[in-house]
Amino acid sequence: MSHAIKNHFGFTSMPFDKEIPTDALLDLPSCKEAMAGLRLLTETRGVGLLTGKSGTGKSCLIRKMIQELGTSLYKPIYMCHSSVGLSEFYANLAVELGLEPKGRRANLFRAIKDRIISLHRQARTHPVLIIDEAHLLANEILLDLRLLTNYEVDSSNALTILLCGQESLARKFDLNILEALANSITVVVQTNGLSKEDTMHYVEERIKSSGGQAGLFTKQALNLIHQASNGVFRTIGTIATNALLKVQTIGASQVEAEHIQAILQR
């Protein structure tokens, strides 16, 4: 299917493939604003939240953040082991820090804190813990995350934590038991659907970057894509790709509103 589409439109690559370079997704005002918030978090060294609906660019922002942290000044630690118990969480974190995941939970906790403070002080490498799918974390893990950030009677910021997840993650912090962690949150970034202008710009830039011709999608077609997708990256790509397939199948050269309508009515 992809070969037929590329040949028909003269693409060098599929415009909305999952392998889109991170930077290509971040050249939009809303993405730049979100990225600025994540940079502020690493500079201020606190606890941050990154929330939003599925498909609104959170993974892309995380990839960009890790890319930027790839220096001797930071140690990014990415974890996606969210639906686990506290002991397994510590074991996974210990492995990420180069420790043996053995012993009692209390011993693992101390070893992890010692490694974090060692990195921060001796290696002068600030650890940044990025936890994806954090809306699935058990409350007992969230409670202990606050303890992991407490160094020298809460006077030293030896660890930055970014909790990433769906919108339900933010609602967890309304619970009284999580008040201490909620009070530690310094930066909140929320990803939303793109504006109509950003949706149009995104589609047109992806076509251009893939070797396609300007104006491949009519303005009316782009309007419909935005309305149907609510500006969600993943949905935009799905609709646009299906429209390209339809146009290729019928031998047309431009994606028009009627093609988008036909896709949406399936």
The answer to whether residues 243 and 162 belong to one domain is no
For residue 260, name the pLDDT band (cuts at 50, 70, 90): very high
Residues 183 and 215 in one domain: no
Range of the domain at 103: 31-191
Instruction: Please state, rounded to an integer, the average pLDDT across all residues of the chain.
Output: 90
- Whether residues 67 and 168 share a domain: the answer is yes
Residues 183 and 229 in one domain: no
Q: What is the dihedral of CA 14, 15, 16, 18, to 10 degrees?
A: 60
258 and 213 within one domain: yes
Q: What are the CA-CA distances from residue 64 to residues 76, 97, 155, 189, 227 (Å)?
A: 12, 21, 29, 14, 28
On whether both 55 and 178 belong to a single domain, the answer is yes
Q: Are residues 20 and 39 in the same domain?
A: no
Whether 19 and 41 share a structural domain: no
The predicted structure's pLDDT at residue 229: 96
- Count of structural domains within the chain: 2
Same domain, 7 and 93: no
Q: pTM of the predicted model, to two decimals?
A: 0.88
Q: Are residues 111 and 229 in the same domain?
A: no
Residue 60 sits in the same domain as residue 134:
yes
CATH of the domain at 86: 3.40.50.300
Residue 46: what residue type? G
Does the structure show a pLDDT above 60 at 152? no
Q: Are residues 53 and 146 in the same domain?
A: yes
For residue range 23-50, what is the model confidence (pLDDT) as tens digits?
A: 666 678 888 899 999 999 999 988 999 9
Name the residue among 64, 54, 62 with its Cα closest to residue 27: 64
Q: What's at 200, amino acid-wise?
A: M
pLDDT score at 244: 96
Centroid of chain to Cα 157? 24
Q: Give the model confidence (pLDDT) of 97-135 as tens digits.
A: 999 988 888 899 999 999 998 988 877 899 999 999 999
pLDDT digits (tens, 9 = 90+) for 55-78: 898 998 999 999 989 778 899 999
